[in-house]
């Protein structure tokens, strides 16, 4: 529930019990019946399945950054535009960038979450989204860490995975 809805409920509670009950039902209906949409703008993110995941992660010539997410998680929905922006900035292209981006929807493949990635799919889990860095087919690092604002930012991923330093090193070689 967002801030305006909370304020509405508090104000109606003090105005009238009947008005509060009606507002509470309206807020509950809107919250339960509306679905946040996933980001569908431009990106260079490859959609993965459990069958394609091992082959993508094992690619020896490129770093892989994989986002493990659930479509029902608001944290995942809010982070997806930042992840797409990172993919547009750092993905493999003709400029010599060698990072591949992928995403795996754990809501579609729930059995894979715990067995393969040890990610908790609980609704209150702070492990969603999980960003995993592979290099040479091996997991190097992952981001179940939470940023200062409670959510990760593109800057957190760039800093922790060293994307800016890798890009700067490539620019010096060129």
Reported as a single tens digit per residue, the pLDDT across 35-74 is: 667 788 888 899 999 888 777 666 777 788 999 999 888 8
In the predicted structure, residue 21 carries a pLDDT above the cut 80: yes
Question: In the CATH hierarchy, which fold is given to the domain comprising 45-173?
Answer: Glutaredoxin (3.40.30)
What was the pLDDT predicted at 81? 92
- Reported residue count of the chain is 174
Q: Please provide the average confidence, as pLDDT, over all residues in the chain.
A: 80
C-alpha 60/C-alpha 63 separation (Å) is 8
| Distance in angstroms (rounded) separating the CA atoms of residues 102 and 148 | 25
The answer, as to whether pTM is greater than 0.85, is: no
pLDDT, tens digit (0-9, with 9 covering 90-100), for 104-160: 999 898 888 888 888 888 877 788 889 988 888 888 888 865 443 456 678 878 888
Per-residue pLDDT, 73: 86
Q: What is the pLDDT of residue 68?
A: 92
- H or E element at residue 72: none
- Tell me what pLDDT residue 84 has: 93
> What tokens were used for 111?
């059995």
């Amino acid at each position: 529930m967002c801030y305006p809805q909370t304020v509405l409920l508090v104000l109606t509670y003090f105005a009238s019990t009947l008005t509060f009950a009606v507002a509470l039902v309206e807020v509950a209906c809107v919250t339960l019946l509306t679905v946040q949409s996933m980001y569908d703008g431009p990106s260079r993110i490859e959609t993965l399945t459990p069958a394609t995941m091992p082959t993508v992660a094992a690619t020896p010539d490129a770093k892989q950054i994989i986002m493990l997410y659930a479509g029902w998680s608001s944290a995942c929905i809010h982070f997806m535009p930042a992840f797409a922006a990172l993919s547009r900035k750092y993905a493999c292209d003709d400029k010599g960038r060698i990072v591949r981006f992928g995403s795996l929807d754990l809501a579609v493949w729930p059995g894979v979450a715990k067995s393969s990635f040890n990610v908790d799919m609980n609704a209150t889990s702070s492990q969603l989204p999980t960003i995993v860095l592979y290099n040479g087919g091996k997991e190097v690092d992952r981001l179940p860490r939470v940023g200062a604002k409670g959510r990760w930012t593109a800057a957190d991923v760039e800093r922790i995975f060293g994307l800016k330093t890798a890009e700067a090193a490539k620019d010096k070689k060129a």
